[in-house]
Structure 1
């Protein structure tokens, strides 16, 4: 949907020419989010602004859906590209409804259509239309204003959106909420988005692809997982930080690591039976008790089963936590550390046990990805040079 071909910007300054973007070549497939990441002054915002011509390229081309935008009218180009900035830029003398309807009005939409579109978008960004549409921006919090900025960019249903650190000025709690809501919207909308960020965690969470810039050059362009597993050079590795392996916890779902082998007992089983089954799964110090619907109802510990006689229903501890197949490994690791446990039961949408996840399995899964990339890198380095 977006293709940049040798896109370059040179600024003339009193001290001479400064290359802000140096022959940038990249493609963003339809429906994906591409994060432009890098330190201040690296060229990511300049590259973004050249797409809708807020900054005029010195050379190179921008293609939108296969069309060269070089000869397009600038106003027509911008009306077909949603644009969201950190400063939001809502018109203070307009109501929220009027702010959202700015571009649809310019495109000639009738009143009923743009009013209905405004209400639809308010529901989409989780703000009640009747409570907010007639208000002015000054009557909203910063987080609410940022949501309106996103709604305004979506108003005319553009195929492409450009976002320049849109959530950077919002406090961490509201930022996480808005990021989650935006990703939910994106599942339905499937917009093609270029998104400038300086936050590595945000890039990993939001992006289908991440482009790392340095001093005007595109250094690495890959999926978040490939970026973390195989930084291209020392700069990228340093920029990602020493905890990049932990950052991958956000990218892996429980479904990728879960084992369907899990020992269980019923309430009517004896503690002797429970101990025998714990021994069958020797890496665990407890076993899960389930009811007739395969829902977890308790834990029987090894120490209890060794020293006590009777039935499981009379001697159990509460299940400290469960996880679902859609949860990511960061949540799993947090629960394990908080509860001082090395495994957790996994449940389906009906709360039925469908397997377990262990610290050992998580460590192996994450390590295997790094080892694979290291072998691939070593193999390339070992190839004879012509």
Structure 2
């Protein structure tokens, strides 16, 4: 959907020419989010702004859906590209509805159509249209204004969106909420998005691909997983940080690591039965008790099963936590550390037990990607990084 071909920007300054973006070549497939990442002054924002011609390229080309945009009218080009910035840029003298409808009105939409579109988008960004559409930007919080900025960019249903640190000015709690809501929207909308960020965690969470810039040059362009497992050089490795293996916890879902081998008992089973099943799974010191719907309702410890007689229903502990198949390993690790446990039951969307996840399985899964990279580097004669 977006292709950059030798895209270059040179600024003339009193001290001479400064190359802000240096022969950048990259492609962003349709429906994906590409994060432009790097330190301040590395060329990521300049590259982004050349796509909608806020900054005019010195040389090179931008293709959108296979079409060279060089000869397109600038206004026409921008009306077909959604644009969201950190400062939001809402018009203070317009209501929220009027702000959202700016581009549709320029495109000649009738009033009924753009009003319906405004209400639809308010629902999408989880703001009540009846409560907010007639307000002015000054009556909204910063986080609410940022959501309106996203809605405005989506108003005319553009195939491409450009986002320049759109959530950077929002406090961490609201930023995480808006990020999550935006990703849910993206699952449905499938926009092609280029997104400038300086936050590595945001890049890993939001991006299908990450482009790392340094001194105007595109240094590495990879999926988040490949970027963390195989940084191209010492700069990328240093920029990602020493905890890059832990950052991969955000990328892996429970369903990728879950084991369906899990011992369970029912409330009417004896403690002797519980002990036998604990022994069958020798690396655990407890066993999960489930109800008739196979939902987790308690734990029977080895110590209790060994020293006590009776039924499981009378001698269980509470289940400290359970995780869903779509949770990421960061959540799993946090729960394990908080509860001082080495395994957790996994449940489906109906709360039924479908397996378990262990610290050992997580460690093996994370390490396997790095070992594969080292093996690949050895096979090609390269020096593996990290």
- What's the TM-score, normalizing by structure 1? 0.98
2:262 corresponds to: 262
Pair 231,382 (structure 1): closer, same or farther in 2 beyond 3 Å: closer
CA distance in structure 2 between the partners assigned to 1:138 and 1:189 by the alignment = 29
1:246 corresponds to: 246
Q: How does 1:293-312 map to 2 (within 5 A)?
A: 293-312=293-312
CA distance in structure 1 between the partners assigned to 2:126 and 2:290 by the alignment = 38
Q: How does 1:1-386 map to 2 (within 5 A)?
A: 1-381=1-381
> Greater CA deviation, 371-380 or 74-83?
371-380
CA distance in structure 1 between the partners assigned to 2:95 and 2:350 by the alignment = 44
CA distance in structure 2 between the partners assigned to 1:382 and 1:348 by the alignment = 43
- What's the TM-score, normalizing by structure 2? 0.98
CA RMSD of aligned residues (A): 0.9
CA distance in structure 1 between the partners assigned to 2:45 and 2:158 by the alignment = 20
SS of the equivalent of 1:363 reads helix
- C-alpha deviation, 1:382, in angstroms: 5.9
CA distance in structure 2 between the partners assigned to 1:231 and 1:161 by the alignment = 27
CA distance in structure 2 between the partners assigned to 1:29 and 1:295 by the alignment = 41
CA distance in structure 1 between the partners assigned to 2:349 and 2:50 by the alignment = 46
- C-alpha deviation, 1:71, in angstroms: 0.6
Provide, for residues 186-232 of structure 1, a one-character-per-residue CA deviation record: whole Å limited to 9, x for no partner: 01110000000000000000000000000000000010000001101
Give the gaps of 5 or more residues in structure 2: none
- What is the aligned length? 383
CA distance in structure 2 between the partners assigned to 1:97 and 1:43 by the alignment = 35
CA distance in structure 2 between the partners assigned to 1:287 and 1:203 by the alignment = 39
CA distance in structure 1 between the partners assigned to 2:352 and 2:100 by the alignment = 44
Give the gaps of 5 or more residues in structure 1: none
SS of the equivalent of 2:381 reads helix
